């Protein structure tokens, strides 16, 4: 029997989100229904609401979640009812050309549920990043569920479902940060601060946090930044060079998604260094760079989708580090709120003092 539950949708571009009844079908073959316990509010949810991703309104928002599997459909073997899982938005297919090349974190054919969740009048909902988790129960592809230690707190580990994994992986997986490296991170929201925490975890020795908000820089310090730069009053490229012997950082992570911050990242890296773009740009944004600089600086200009993570490999590992006190996921949970507070959480995102508001159900 389909179930009717409460969920948060964005009905139209720019319109405030609404808490409405959502119809969740029983899981079909390869699908699972998950009772959501916690879901973080990510900037990408706001991008959806602002029409910055696509026009497939109405969206069922939320995608950074942990919960308990309630039911599974035919043929599902990797998870079972009662399993505590983190949801991921890149369930690898195992069969596309990236998977067959042994690089499943690039999978070009990731899976979502086949059936649609709807409004009570039958209108199909587009779940954010194929998840949709600001809702009491959600329907996903079973491969989007990664089983982890049930003793971990849902509000904290749910963040691994998107922003924290994206940031950690941008530094560690995509950027390949290693012991002794210098790293600069531009934009210290949930994603950027996770990149900082990741750089510390793997032993980077100089970790420079850049933001326009001093409160974010304070949090960055607590998570592992060795230096902070407020780029409102200081040229970040000059500052990063000055802190790295005049050279620039080995790896610069751009976690804002804007042309000016991407250019800063480009010029703030050392020769043969790596720039990682993890911030998501909008379709209209452009950068202009001298080709001679692209050539002459060498190194790599990379993008990071979901921190190039492999949920089955990375989620349990990060939950272990969290449980051992070696990766402070709790520091990312600034506040716990209810399903009705998503719009207020969007406003706080602009207010500056919040790494993550987490909806707890
Ligand atoms: N690539 C991925 O897989 C992935 C996954 C999740 C999120 N993201 C993207 O990462 C970006 C950051 O997400 P978030 O949730 O941390 O957002 P956020 O709003 O919490 O953080 C953004 C930070 O950037 C800072 N900032 C804004 N303008 C700046 C500037 N000009 N210079 C320096 N800092 C500036 C803000 O003060 C804020 O601290 C977004 O674009 C989001 O869509 C990407
Ligand atoms: Zn694949
Ligand atoms: Zn996200």
Cβ proximity of 9 and 59 under 8 Å: yes
DSSP 173: I
Neighbours of 338 (CB within 10 A): 11
Rounded to whole angstroms, the Cα distance separating 345 from 82 reads 30
How many Cα neighbours within 13 Å face the side chain of 33? 20
The number of the ligand nearest the C-alpha atom of 187 reads 1
Task: Provide the whole-model pTM.
Answer: 0.95
Contact between 208 and 347 (Cβ < 8 Å): no
pLDDT in single tens digits along all 361 residues of the chain:
999 999 999 999 999 999 999 999 999 999 999 999 999 999 999 999 999 889 999 999 999 999 999 999 999 999 999 999 999 999 999 999 999 999 999 999 999 999 999 999 999 999 999 999 999 999 999 999 999 999 999 999 999 999 999 999 999 999 999 999 999 999 999 999 999 999 999 999 999 999 999 999 999 999 999 999 999 999 999 999 999 999 999 999 999 999 999 999 999 999 999 999 999 998 899 999 999 999 999 999 999 999 999 999 999 999 999 999 999 999 999 999 999 999 999 999 888 778 899 999 9
Ligand 1 atom nearest to 260, measured from its CA: 31
If 0-12 CB within 10 Å is exposed, 13-18 middle and 19+ buried, where does residue 135 land?
buried
Ligand number nearest CA of 102 is 2
As a whole number of angstroms, the distance between CA 324 and CA 196 comes to 19
- Residues in the ligand 1 pocket, defined by CB under 6 Å: 42-44, 47, 162-163, 166, 186-192, 210-213, 216, 231, 255-258, 261, 278-280, 304-306, 349, 352
**Among residues 331, 67, 2, which one has the least CA distance to residue 197?**
331
Measured CA to CA, the distance from residue 344 to residue 340 in angstroms comes to 9
351: enclosing H helix or E strand: helix 342-351
The span from the CA of 156 to the CA of 138, in Å, is 19
């Amino acid at each position: 029997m389909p179930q009717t539950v409460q969920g948060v949708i964005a009905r139209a571009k720019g319109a405030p989100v609404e808490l409405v009844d959502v119809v969740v079908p029983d899981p079909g073959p390869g699908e699972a229904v998950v009772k959501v316990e916690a879901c973080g509010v990510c900037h990408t949810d706001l991008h959806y609401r602002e029409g910055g991703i696509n026009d497939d309104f109405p969206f069922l928002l939320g995608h950074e979640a942990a919960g308990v599997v309630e039911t599974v459909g035919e043929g599902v073997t990797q998870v079972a009812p009662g399993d505590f899982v983190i949801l991921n938005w890149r369930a690898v297919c195992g069969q596309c050309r990236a998977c067959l090349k042994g690089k499943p974190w690039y999978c070009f054919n990731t899976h979502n549920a086949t059936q649609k969740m709807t409004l009570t009048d039958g209108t199909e909902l587009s779940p954010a990043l194929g998840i949709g988790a600001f809702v009491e129960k959600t329907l996903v592809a079973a491969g989007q569920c990664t089983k982890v230690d049930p003793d971990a707190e849902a509000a904290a580990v749910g963040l691994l479902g998107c922003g924290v994994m994206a940031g950690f992986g941008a530094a560690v997986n995509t950027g390949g940060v290693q012991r002794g490296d210098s790293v600069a991170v531009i934009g210290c929201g949930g994603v950027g601060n996770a990149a900082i925490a990741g750089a510390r975890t793997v032993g980077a020795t100089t970790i420079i946090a850049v933001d326009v908000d001093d409160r974010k820089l304070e949090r960055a310090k607590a998570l592992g930044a060795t230096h902070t730069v407020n780029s409102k009053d200081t040229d970040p490229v000059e500052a990063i060079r000055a802190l790295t012997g005049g050279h620039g950082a080995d790896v610069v992570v751009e976690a804002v998604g804007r042309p000016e911050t991407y250019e800063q990242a480009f010029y703030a890296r050392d020769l043969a260094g790596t720039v990682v773009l993890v911030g998501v740009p909008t379709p209209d944004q452009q950068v202009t760079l001298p080709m001679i600089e692209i050539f002459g600086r060498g190194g790599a200009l990379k993008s990071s989708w979901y921190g190039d993570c492999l949920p089955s490999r990375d989620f349990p590992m990060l939950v272990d580090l969290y449980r051992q006190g070696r990766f402070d996921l709790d520091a990312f949970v600034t506040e716990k709120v209810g399903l009705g507070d998503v719009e207020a959480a969007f406003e706080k995102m602009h207010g500056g003092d919040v790494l993550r508001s987490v909806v707890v159900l």
